[in-house]
């Protein structure tokens, strides 16, 4: 539907579209059809984008911390940053969880030494944080992703000096594959690169 404002028309009248730009009026004919190629490559690209967008939502609790500094530098929100840097993590077999990035930076990584998930849904992770006077207050973050339920959990952070963290998964995650990720957060919000702990 077209609208009139100060003698100018904007919008659609029949098969004609009225618009203005820089104070000048323009008229164009509405196209009979819009190009929407459904080639195999295009469909594959759309599937990949949809899968990574859904994963971004699932992992939001992790990447809003781990990608915050990088996203600010690139003037993006963390969801857009996540989708951009993980766009190649989708292939013929689905998402390559081992290469998903939820954190990026120069802080010394945690180096996980052991991770266990027990039958009751308890997760226990130990790490060697390479503690120095400068980084002893860095925080260790553990992120658990349950793709089947499209949910994620970011465990409460602990400092490097603690060397271990425990968490409990949601009851409805039991029996489903879990992917564990770890990263460190240092001073001024700087973070380490993502460490993929593994699938459990």
pLDDT of res. 132: 83
pLDDT of res. 81: 97
Q: Give the tens place of pLDDT for each residue, 124-160.
A: 999 986 778 788 899 999 999 999 999 999 999 999 9
pLDDT of res. 154: 96
Virtual torsion, Cα 163, 145, 156, 102, nearest 10 deg: 80
Neighbours of 82 (CB within 10 A): 28
Q: Kind and range of the H or E element at 24? A: strand 24-29
Give 136-193 as a DSSP string. TT-EEEEEEEEGGGTEEEEPPPEETTT-EEEEE--GGGTTS--EEEEEEE-GGG-BPP
Q: Name the residue among 67, 111, 59, 68 with its Cα closest to residue 85.
A: 67
Neighbours of 97 (CB within 10 A): 18
Residue appearing with tokens 């004609």: 16
Q: So what CATH class is 40-199?
A: mainly beta
pLDDT of res. 22: 67
Digit-by-digit pLDDT tens for the chain (200 residues) are 556 566 667 777 778 888 877 667 788 888 777 777 777 777 777 888 899 999 999 999 999 999 999 999 999 999 999 999 999 999 889 999 999 999 999 999 989 999 999 988 899 999 986 778 788 899 999 999 999 999 999 999 999 999 999 999 999 999 999 999 999 999 888 999 999 999 99
User: What is the residue extent of each domain of the chain?
Assistant: 40-199
- End-to-end Cα spacing for the chain: 55
pLDDT of res. 167: 95
């Amino acid at each position: 539907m077209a609208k009139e404002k100060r003698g100018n028309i904007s919008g659609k009248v029949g098969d004609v579209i009225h618009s203005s730009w820089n104070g000048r009026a323009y008229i164009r004919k509405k196209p009979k059809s819009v190009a929407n190629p459904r080639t195999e490559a295009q469909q594959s690209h759309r599937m990949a984008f949809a899968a990574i967008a859904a994963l971004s939502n699932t992992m939001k609790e992790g990447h809003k911390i781990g990608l915050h500094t990088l996203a600010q530098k690139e003037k993006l929100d963390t969801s857009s940053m996540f989708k951009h840097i993980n766009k190649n993590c989708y292939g013929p077999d689905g998402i390559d969880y081992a290469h998903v990035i939820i954190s990026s930076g120069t802080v010394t990584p945690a180096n996980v030494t052991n991770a266990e998930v027990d039958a009751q849904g308890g997760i226990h992770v130990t790490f060697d944080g390479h503690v120095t006077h400068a980084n002893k207050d860095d925080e260790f973050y553990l992120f658990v992703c349950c793709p089947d339920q499209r949910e994620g959990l970011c465990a409460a952070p602990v400092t490097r000096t603690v060397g271990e963290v425990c968490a409990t998964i949601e009851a409805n995650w039991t029996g489903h594959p879990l992917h564990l990720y770890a990263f460190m957060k240092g001073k001024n919000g700087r973070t380490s690169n993502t460490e993929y702990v593994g699938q459990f």
